[in-house]
């Protein structure tokens, strides 16, 4: 599904991702854990095609297609999705209006206004969102928790094949975290893959990963099952630095 090989990426001339490889199969949930500054968010943005990052080496394919040949919207149309850590505000554009445009952009056949409305109501219920929320301007004046819920709402509406979640759990209280996790679990199945990027393992209590990777200084230094996440919680990132820091 997603294949990353020896990826190198930089911003403003500083190399952030330094030879990262990862393969995500269909239906798999991968967690990438790492301390601040390890390059996690850069990885997420590079995968979706943020213009500020420059890929200097390596390849990324999604369902066999070279993603670096594709614009972000083309990647979205193929089924890739990024849940943003810091989603942008778009004043004057309501959530409902935005979602209608977005959903119809990624779908082959346009949804009718009624079907769109029903779909939105249904997904908002899952996310425990007030229907009035749809009339608010996109991310404008949203609390941190509302922004994250809104990201997951978009994911539910767009039904991607691969979701990359960039620290969606950060700044959430336990209730919001559970709602966000419910959203992800809603999509979980043989046709849905996810890469969950996080600093903490607590979200992984609600979304059980198939694979856990630890990222340090621009590459994945160790991988394992969900037990790796628990070990990290016990021992902390200092342990990772001691174990694997010399390799960096």
Q: Contact residues for other proteins (CB under 8 A)?
A: 48-52, 71-73, 75-77, 81-82, 84, 87-93, 98, 101-102, 105-106, 137-138, 154, 158
Choice between 80 and 184, CB closer to other proteins? 80
Closer to other proteins by CB, 137 or 206: give it: 137
Least separation in angstroms between CB 55 and other proteins: 15
Please answer whether residues 30 and 16 qualify as being in contact, where contact means their C-beta atoms are separated by less than 8 angstroms.
no
Q: How far apart are the first and last CA of the chain?
A: 28
Give the separation between CA 4 and CA 23, rounded to whole angstroms.
6
Smaller CB separation from other proteins, 32 or 83: 83
The two beta strands, 193-198 and 29-33, are parallel
Q: How far is the CB of 80 from other proteins (least distance, A)?
A: 8
CA distance 61 to 69: 10
203 contacts: CB under 8 Å, gap ≥ 6: 168, 169, 177, 180, 181, 196
Which residue, chain included where needed, has tokens 């966000």?
180
117 CB contacts (<8 Å, ≥6 apart)?
none
Q: What is the Cα gyration radius of the chain?
A: 18
Cβ nearer to other proteins, comparing 107 with 125: 107
Which of 52, 41, 44 has its CA nearest to residue 11? 52
- Cβ distance to other proteins smaller for residue 139 or 198: 139
Q: To the nearest whole angstrom, how small is the minimum distance from the Cβ of residue 51 to other proteins?
A: 6
């Amino acid at each position: 599904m997603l294949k990353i090989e020896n990826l190198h990426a930089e911003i403003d001339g500083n190399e952030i991702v330094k030879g990262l490889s990862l393969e995500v199969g269909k239906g798999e949930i991968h967690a990438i854990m790492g301390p601040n500054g390890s390059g996690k968010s850069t990885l997420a943005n590079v995968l979706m095609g943020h213009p500020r990052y420059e890929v200097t080496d390596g390849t990324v394919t999604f369902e066999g297609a070279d993603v670096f040949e594709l614009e972000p919207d083309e990647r979205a149309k193929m089924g890739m999705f990024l849940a943003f850590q810091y989603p942008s505000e778009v004043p004057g554009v309501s959530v409902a209006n935005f979602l209608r445009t977005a959903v119809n952009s990624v779908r082959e056949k346009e949804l009718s206004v009624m079907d769109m409305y029903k779909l939105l109501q249904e997904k908002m219920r899952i996310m425990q969102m007030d229907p009035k929320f749809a009339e608010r301007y996109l991310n404008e004046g949203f609390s941190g928790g509302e922004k994250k819920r809104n990201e997951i709402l978009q994911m539910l509406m767009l039904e991607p094949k691969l979701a990359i979640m960039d620290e969606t759990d950060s700044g959430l209280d336990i209730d919001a975290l559970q709602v966000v996790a419910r959203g992800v679990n809603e999509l979980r199945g043989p046709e849905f893959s996810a890469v969950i990027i996080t600093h903490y393992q607590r979200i992984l209590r609600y979304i059980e990963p198939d694979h856990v990777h630890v990222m340090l200084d621009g590459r994945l230094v160790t991988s394992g099952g969900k037990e790796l996440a628990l070990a990290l919680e016990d021992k902390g990132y200092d342990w990772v630095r001691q174990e694997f820091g010399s390799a960096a």
